Structure 1
Amino acid sequence: MLGSDAGSNAGSCGDTCRIILVESIPEGTTFSDSSMPNPSTFSTWMNLLETVTRSLDITSFYWTMTNEDTRTHEPSAIQGEQILEELLQLSQCGVTVRIAVSCPLAKFPLNDLQALERSGAVVRTVDMPRLTGGVLHTKFWLVDGTHLYVGSANMDWRSLTQVKELSAAVYNCSCLAKDLGKIFEAYWALGIPGASIPVPWPANYSTTFNMETPSELKHNDTDAAVYFSSSPPALCAAGWTQGLGTLLSVIDAAEDFVDVTVMSYLPTTEFSHPQRFWPAIDNQLRKAVFECQVKVRLLAGCWQHSQVTMFPFLKSLAAVTNNRTRYSMEVWLFMVPASAVQAQIPYAWVNRNKYTVTEKVAYIGTSNWSGDYFVRMAGSALVVNQTVSQTSASTAAGTSIIREQLQVVFERDWSSQYSANIGDIERWESLCGSR
């Protein structure tokens, strides 16, 4: 349970927070010389591990920080192994380490979690299949109740060197860290064997930071309104803005453009049986284009594990635009290159980013865009609203607000050699959804 200060988060946040984009760029993937790299996931995790003095809470889908599971003897796995080795030392240094992880699946080894438990970390598995019919798909770190990391990267060595990931790191921001900590505490409580979802959730899991009353703070010396969303609805205590409602509101509030990058896009459920039509996000994108003349660009992931049913839906979105309409809806695919050797690494070489950027908002999430991720699976997102001009947003030392950083990443990927229009079937058909 949270401490006595759990509910004291109303109003503005006095911290001067620093929010930065964090990326994993797969080996062999290169962009133009003018593209400025963001800090890597590996360097960010190492920085957080060097910073921690009291407590580290991590929530994740699964753990494979070495490449024992793939038996590929891949040299780049050394980054994941180094992170794991640092984590194994923390408890001996007096740091309290807690890990909330989804109920293990047969294909995921338990070696890392068992080693962490032997080192003194406390691990709880959350039986999401029993509780909601989904999995714990959230990925975030909380450090000393002051710093945090949230985004697409799993606790997987491939997420450091073999998969394209995007996340956010937030430093010196206790108000946001404490708020995200309430989501962790909910997972932690549900990790007790036989636990059930409380109805309603006790008050100490609630928040006053949400879509209607976000936290008002300074981010890189610029005013910002920030909050977290959470999924699924059953795991949301009072005050939390649910994941779907957040995403729909971000799209609805856009007046100029909506740029989206997501690995998987389906206006259906994806893992439930039978599958159901689930057009909530799809309808909102079409509404934005049709009613408000908003320009939408969607960049979806393309790899051999893509659902083949995704592509007809993407083509349908793209068909909103033609030479006789004024609507602007563009759909492209991003393909991460892999050599013959690299292609032997399973479940790698894909763009797993899950974000949206508009002229007002940066949204960085942990969920793909299909029904199960918002109805059954645990996920979260960081939402930063900064409706400031381009000139007033510029700060000293060349830093910029997170919305601008995210827009730069989108433009870089959209115009890169790895992107192809959904209409250019010859470029992508043999690479996507071959299963």
Structure 2
Amino acid sequence: MRKISLCALLHVLLLFINCYCEVVEDNCSMQLVESIPENLTFSPGSPTHLSTYNAWRYLIESARATIDIGSFYWTLRGTPANQDPTDCEGESIFRALMDVGSSEKVKVRIVQSEPSSEFPNNDTAALAASGAAQVRSLNLERLVGGGVLHTKFWIVDSKHFYIGSANFDWRSLTQVKEMGIMALDCSCLAGQLSKAFEMYWSVALPNATIPSAWPPAVDTQFNVHSPLCLQINETSSLATFGIDPPEFVARGWSSDLDVILHVIDSATTQINVAVMDYFPTTLYDDPNTYWPIIDDALRRAAFNRGVRVRLLASRWNHTFPDMFNYLRSLAALNGTTNENHAVHVEAGLFTVPSYTERQAKIPFGRVNHNKYMVTDNAAYVGTSNWSGDYFIDTGGVGLVVNQTGTASDDLIQEQLLAVFNRDWNSAFTTIL
């Protein structure tokens, strides 16, 4: 008789306890999607994945009825003051959206953060003016007292979606390092993400207010304590979304912060984080305040449970210098001991070099913009940087996937771990 490991048995029990949706998506597929900046080359044999550009093109070409997009800002097209030979992929996505939206066969809706001089809306204004898209702007400053809509996702025909770090910016396709997930034929998960879109859409009007209670249409039964049970890449999986800020946490939802904390607290052997900014404070308040919620969770995992923690932040032209101090403070735990185990905490900085003068002059380019975490039992991909502002008054979503029931290199978390190890061990990373 074949023996079943305790880990596998616990996973099966978890599936039965936590799954409240019949597994109907036998063909649900999910894959990692990356943007690798021009000329950034890893060693031979390093993992590679579908490009963000090709994923977005595929979603547009797959659309038969609807495309719903949640976004921060739009600069897919180059401008006379900001042009580059590599902006052609952004131009291509813009033209494809214009074409599909103008066909009258596909309804395109876009919700974006309130435009400003720093983050204009020229692209979406053109799409709206041509009739290719309905566009609404969400003013979180007015609604919740601060922040922006920082989310980045696509939902196509209520069954396909993309979520990740890539903004609707040509640089996010060719000059910025991004990580995301594209899912196909995942109607249950896409349905939950659609509820996030509908919340944004409903209050992205001049006189709208946050309701005292969100309508039942945006409620969900899926959260970190009762995730959706489904087949992803022919593997039994658990998955759900989280949403922030707190005012958007409708009935049944987990906040994005709670999803992150749950993933950290559930890790048993390792936690690997890749995020552009890491601060146990707020960044954009006046004055800023101390906000150690995630930092404390990482320290507890390392010190109390002996979990190996690695955190990879980004160094570029716009890095806040104080981040180095916070990373060193976290890494200072490394090598200490607690009873029967050593404490392993490391922090590193990933730098995207500029190989030409042209690349060096690209504003807000050449940066590792990733926002993900992978542990021994879960993969998390989000849209927020890790400082207090992003969870207090900024709009963001995050997806967590757990596939621990099967040992396979095809699992999303194994693929994401391979990407993290590729970056961590590359010549572009400096360990503090």
Q: TM-score, normalised by structure 2?
A: 0.92
Which residue of 70, 78, 98 maps to 1:67? 78
Secondary structure of the 1:67 match is coil
Aligned to 1:167: 180
Query: What residue is the counterpart of 2:150 in the other structure?
Result: 137
Matches within 5 A, 1:339-354: 339=355, 340-354=357-371
User: After superposition, what is the alpha-carbon deviation per residue over 1:186-206, rounded to whole angstroms, capped at 9, x for unaligned?
Assistant: 000011211000111111111
Equivalents in 2 of 1:255, 1:162: separation in Å? 36
Letter of the structure 2 residue corresponding to residue 330 of structure 1 = E
Residue matched to 2:120:
109
Rounded Cα–Cα distance in structure 2 between residues aligned with 1:139 and 1:72: 22
RMSD after superposition: 1.3
Q: Deviations over 1:294-317 (max 9, x none)?
A: 000000011110111111110001
The amino acid that maps onto 1:387 is T
Whichever residue aligns with residue 348 of structure 2, its letter is: W
Matches within 5 A, 1:76-225: 76-93=86-103, 94-120=105-131, 121-132=133-144, 133-225=146-238
Residues 223-242 of structure 1: CA deviation (Å, up to 9, x unaligned) = 00000000011111100001
TM-fit CA distance, 1:324:
6.7
Checking the alignment, whether the CA contact within 8 Å between 2:47 and 2:422 is kept in structure 1 is no
Helix, strand or coil for the counterpart of 1:384? strand
How far residue 10 of structure 1 moved from its aligned partner, in angstroms, is 4.8
Q: In structure 2, the residue corresponding to 1:403 is in which secondary structure?
A: helix
User: What is the rounded CA distance, in whole Å, between the counterparts of 1:365 and 1:79 in structure 2?
Assistant: 23
Question: Secondary structure of 1:299's partner?
Answer: strand
Alpha-carbon separation, structure 2, partners of 1:211 and 1:317: 26
Contact 1:162 1:348 in 2 (8 A): yes
Aligned residue type for 1:284: A
- Please name the residue that 2:430 is paired with: 420
Q: 1:323, 1:233 → 2: CA distance?
A: 36
SS class of match (2:223): coil
1:360 counterpart = 2:377: yes
Write out aligned runs for 1:162-311 (5 A): 162-311=175-324
Where 1:341 maps in the other structure, the secondary structure is helix
Amino acid at match of 2:352: V
CA shift at 1:127, angstroms?
A: 0.7
2:413 to 381, 398, 403: 403
SS at match of 1:387: coil
Matches within 5 A, 1:316-327: 316-322=329-335, 326-327=342-343
Secondary structure of the 2:54 match is: helix
The aligned residue for residue 338 of structure 1 is: 354
1:364 Cα offset (Å):
0.3
* Distance in 1 of aligned mates of 2:324 and 2:224: 32
CA contact 1:131–1:196 (8 Å) conserved in 2: yes
CA distance in 1: counterparts of 2:344 and 2:111, whole angstroms: 42
> 1:266 is paired with a residue of what secondary structure?
coil
1:33 aligns with 2:44: yes
Runs of 4+ in 1 over 2 A off after TM superposition: 322-325
The answer (yes or no) to whether the contact 2:314–2:367 under 8 Å persists in 1 is yes
Query: Aligned in 2, Cα 1:282/1:259: closer, same or farther, shift over 3 Å?
Result: same
Contact between 2:337 and 2:343, CA under 8 Å: does it hold in 1? no
CA distance in 2, matches of 1:352, 1:254: 24
Gaps of 5+ in 1: 1-8, 395-399, 423-435
Taking a change above 3 Å as real, the CA distance of residues 67 and 96 of structure 1, as seen in their structure-2 partners, is same
Give the Cα–Cα distance (whole angstroms) in 2 for the partners of residues 192 and 92 of structure 1: 24
AA aligned opposite 1:218: Q
Partner of 2:393: 376
The alignment of Structure 1 onto Structure 2 pairs a total of residues equal to: 406
Normalising by structure 1, report the TM-score.
Answer: 0.91
The whole-number CA distance in structure 1 between the counterparts of 2:300 and 2:400 is 21
Distance 2:37 2:82 in 1: 16
CA contact (8 A) 2:100 2:106 kept: yes
Check whether the contact 1:92–1:119 (CA below 8 A) recurs between aligned residues.
yes
List gaps (5 residues or longer) in structure 2.
Answer: 1-18
Offset at residue 323 of structure 1 (A): 6.8
Are 2:47 and 1:46 equivalent residues in the alignment? no
Deviation at 1:13, TM superposition (A): 3.7
Q: 1:22 aligns with which of 33, 40, 45?
A: 33
Deviation string, structure 1 residues 242-283 (Cα, Å, up to 9, x no partner): 111111110011110000000000000111121000000000
What CA distance in whole angstroms lies between the structure 2 residues aligned with 1:383 and 1:62?
Answer: 25
Query: How far apart in 1 are the matches of 2:24 and 2:374?
Result: 26
Matches of 2:336 and 2:87 in 1, distance apart?
49
Partner of 2:363, secondary structure, is: coil
Mapped contact 1:89–1:119 kept (Cα < 8 A):
no
In structure 2, what is the equivalent of residue 428 of structure 1? Answer: none
How far did residue 26 of structure 1 move?
0.1
Of 21, 36, 39, 1:11 maps to 21
CA distance in 1, matches of 2:332, 2:246: 33
AA matched with 1:420: T
Whether contact under 8 Å (1:91, 1:119) holds in the other structure is no
How far apart are residue 73 of structure 1 and its match? 2.8
The 3-state SS of whatever aligns with 2:50 is coil
Alignment match of 2:328 (pick from 315, 319, 342)? 315
